[in-house]
Protein backbone atom coordinates (compact mmCIF):
# COMPACT_ATOMS: atom_id res chain seq x y z
CA UNK A 1 0.00 0.00 0.00
CA UNK A 2 1.53 3.28 -1.13
CA UNK A 3 1.40 6.06 1.45
CA UNK A 4 1.04 9.63 0.20
CA UNK A 5 3.62 12.18 1.28
CA UNK A 6 2.38 15.47 2.63
CA UNK A 7 3.84 18.95 2.23
CA UNK A 8 6.03 18.58 5.33
CA UNK A 9 7.51 15.29 4.07
CA UNK A 10 8.25 16.90 0.71
CA UNK A 11 9.94 19.87 2.39
CA UNK A 12 12.07 17.54 4.53
CA UNK A 13 13.08 15.55 1.44
CA UNK A 14 14.01 18.72 -0.44
CA UNK A 15 16.23 19.85 2.45
CA UNK A 16 17.90 16.45 2.72
CA UNK A 17 18.49 16.22 -1.03
CA UNK A 18 20.19 19.59 -0.90
CA UNK A 19 22.29 18.70 2.18
CA UNK A 20 21.83 15.31 3.87
CA UNK A 21 24.08 16.46 6.73
CA UNK A 22 21.78 19.24 7.91
CA UNK A 23 21.35 19.17 11.69
CA UNK A 24 17.96 17.89 12.79
CA UNK A 25 17.25 21.15 14.63
CA UNK A 26 17.81 23.10 11.39
CA UNK A 27 15.47 20.82 9.44
CA UNK A 28 12.79 21.12 12.11
CA UNK A 29 13.09 24.91 12.24
CA UNK A 30 12.97 25.35 8.45
CA UNK A 31 9.95 23.07 8.14
CA UNK A 32 8.18 24.48 11.21
CA UNK A 33 7.92 21.33 13.33
CA UNK A 34 9.44 20.04 16.55
CA UNK A 35 12.85 18.36 16.40
CA UNK A 36 11.39 15.05 17.65
CA UNK A 37 8.70 15.24 14.96
CA UNK A 38 11.39 15.75 12.30
CA UNK A 39 13.28 12.71 13.62
CA UNK A 40 10.11 10.60 13.52
CA UNK A 41 9.18 11.75 10.01
CA UNK A 42 12.63 11.01 8.62
CA UNK A 43 12.60 7.59 10.30
CA UNK A 44 9.20 6.92 8.69
CA UNK A 45 10.47 8.03 5.26
CA UNK A 46 13.39 5.61 5.68
CA UNK A 47 11.07 2.80 6.83
CA UNK A 48 8.77 3.37 3.82
CA UNK A 49 11.79 3.20 1.52
CA UNK A 50 11.35 6.75 0.21
CA UNK A 51 14.79 7.53 1.60
CA UNK A 52 16.87 4.67 0.25
CA UNK A 53 20.17 5.78 1.77
CA UNK A 54 22.70 8.51 2.25
CA UNK A 55 26.03 8.98 0.53
CA UNK A 56 28.68 11.28 -0.79
CA UNK A 57 28.22 13.44 -3.88
CA UNK A 58 31.59 14.24 -5.41
CA UNK A 59 32.54 17.56 -6.92
CA UNK A 60 33.70 16.33 -10.33
CA UNK A 61 35.59 19.55 -11.01
CA UNK A 62 37.89 18.77 -8.07
CA UNK A 63 37.91 14.98 -8.17
CA UNK A 64 37.05 12.63 -10.95
CA UNK A 65 38.38 9.34 -12.17
CA UNK A 66 40.38 9.54 -15.38
CA UNK A 67 37.59 8.26 -17.65
CA UNK A 68 33.79 8.17 -17.49
CA UNK A 69 31.70 6.95 -20.40
CA UNK A 70 28.15 6.30 -21.51
CA UNK A 71 27.67 2.96 -23.24
CA UNK A 72 24.58 2.09 -25.26
CA UNK A 73 23.94 -1.64 -25.56
CA UNK A 74 21.75 -3.37 -28.16
CA UNK A 75 20.66 -6.87 -27.13
CA UNK A 76 19.14 -9.97 -28.65
CA UNK A 77 15.76 -10.74 -27.04
CA UNK A 78 15.87 -12.94 -23.97
CA UNK A 79 19.39 -12.16 -22.77
CA UNK A 80 18.75 -9.28 -20.38
CA UNK A 81 19.19 -11.40 -17.23
CA UNK A 82 22.64 -12.52 -18.37
CA UNK A 83 23.68 -8.94 -19.14
CA UNK A 84 22.50 -7.63 -15.77
CA UNK A 85 24.17 -10.48 -13.87
CA UNK A 86 27.51 -9.87 -15.60
CA UNK A 87 27.39 -6.08 -15.22
CA UNK A 88 26.61 -6.37 -11.50
CA UNK A 89 30.02 -8.02 -11.10
CA UNK A 90 31.84 -5.01 -12.62
CA UNK A 91 32.59 -2.35 -9.99
CA UNK A 92 33.19 0.22 -12.74
CA UNK A 93 29.47 0.21 -13.65
CA UNK A 94 27.82 3.26 -12.08
CA UNK A 95 24.33 2.89 -13.56
CA UNK A 96 22.43 0.59 -15.89
CA UNK A 97 19.11 1.75 -17.32
CA UNK A 98 16.66 0.05 -19.65
CA UNK A 99 15.81 2.66 -22.27
CA UNK A 100 13.65 3.13 -25.35
CA UNK A 101 15.12 4.05 -28.71
CA UNK A 102 18.03 2.79 -30.77
CA UNK A 103 19.59 0.83 -27.88
CA UNK A 104 18.07 -1.40 -25.21
CA UNK A 105 20.27 -0.37 -22.28
CA UNK A 106 22.39 2.62 -21.34
CA UNK A 107 25.11 2.31 -18.77
CA UNK A 108 27.62 4.65 -17.20
CA UNK A 109 31.15 3.41 -16.62
CA UNK A 110 33.79 4.97 -14.37
CA UNK A 111 37.36 3.81 -15.10
CA UNK A 112 40.88 4.83 -14.17
CA UNK A 113 42.20 4.78 -17.75
CA UNK A 114 41.23 4.35 -21.38
CA UNK A 115 42.95 0.96 -21.23
CA UNK A 116 40.54 -0.13 -18.51
CA UNK A 117 37.63 1.22 -20.55
CA UNK A 118 38.83 -0.71 -23.60
CA UNK A 119 39.07 -3.94 -21.57
CA UNK A 120 35.58 -3.43 -20.11
CA UNK A 121 34.06 -2.76 -23.52
CA UNK A 122 35.60 -6.01 -24.78
CA UNK A 123 34.10 -7.86 -21.79
CA UNK A 124 30.68 -6.28 -22.33
CA UNK A 125 30.76 -7.06 -26.05
CA UNK A 126 31.49 -10.71 -25.24
CA UNK A 127 28.41 -11.11 -23.01
CA UNK A 128 25.90 -13.53 -24.50
CA UNK A 129 23.21 -11.68 -26.46
CA UNK A 130 25.04 -8.36 -26.87
CA UNK A 131 24.67 -7.35 -30.52
CA UNK A 132 26.37 -3.97 -30.44
CA UNK A 133 27.72 -1.29 -28.13
CA UNK A 134 28.13 2.43 -28.71
CA UNK A 135 30.41 4.42 -26.40
CA UNK A 136 30.71 8.14 -25.68
CA UNK A 137 33.43 9.33 -23.32
CA UNK A 138 32.24 12.07 -20.96
CA UNK A 139 34.45 15.13 -21.39
CA UNK A 140 32.83 17.37 -18.76
CA UNK A 141 29.62 17.97 -16.82
CA UNK A 142 27.95 21.22 -17.84
CA UNK A 143 24.84 20.77 -15.67
CA UNK A 144 24.50 18.31 -12.78
CA UNK A 145 21.22 18.25 -10.90
CA UNK A 146 21.55 14.65 -9.79
CA UNK A 147 21.01 13.74 -6.20
CA UNK A 148 23.30 11.29 -4.48
Q: What is residue 63's predicted lDDT score, i.e. its pLDDT?
A: 67
The CATH number for 132's domain is: 3.30.70.920
Both 80 and 23 in one domain: the answer is no
- 3-state SS, residue 116: helix
Let me know if residue 36 belongs to a domain: yes
What pLDDT, in 10s, does the model give residues 38-93? 999 999 999 999 999 887 777 766 766 679 999 999 999 999 999 999 999 999 99
Provide the whole-model pTM: 0.62
What is the span of the domain harbouring residue 110? Answer: 67-137
pLDDT at 2 over 80: no
Number of structural domains the chain divides into: 2
Let me know if residue 77 belongs to a domain: yes
Let me know if residue 42 belongs to a domain: yes
Both 71 and 19 in one domain: the answer is no
Closest CA to 65 of 122, 105, 124, 117: 117
Alpha helices in the chain (DSSP H): 7-18, 24-31, 35-48, 80-88, 114-125
Q: In whole angstroms, what is the distance from residue 21 CA to residue 55 CA?
A: 10
Let me know if residue 100 belongs to a domain: yes
Asked if 135 and 7 touch (Cβ cutoff 8 Å), the reply is no
- At 1, the pLDDT band (50, 70, 90 cuts) reads very low
What pLDDT, in 10s, does the model give residues 113-147? 899 999 999 999 999 999 999 999 999 888 877 76
Closest CA to 60 of 21, 19, 110: 110
What pLDDT, in 10s, does the model give residues 6-49? 999 999 999 998 889 999 999 999 999 999 999 999 999 999 99
Asked if 147 and 17 touch (Cβ cutoff 8 Å), the reply is yes
First to last CA, the chain: 26
Let me know if residue 94 belongs to a domain: yes
Both 93 and 43 in one domain: the answer is no
Let me know if residue 142 belongs to a domain: no
Both 44 and 75 in one domain: the answer is no
Let me know if residue 74 belongs to a domain: yes
Both 37 and 90 in one domain: the answer is no
Let me know if residue 21 belongs to a domain: yes
Q: In whole angstroms, what is the distance from residue 120 CA to residue 123 CA?
A: 5
Amino acid sequence: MKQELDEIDNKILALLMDDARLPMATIAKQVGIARTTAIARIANLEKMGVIAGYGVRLNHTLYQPAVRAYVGISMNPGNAATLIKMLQKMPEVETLCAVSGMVDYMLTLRCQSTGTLDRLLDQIGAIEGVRQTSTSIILSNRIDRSAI
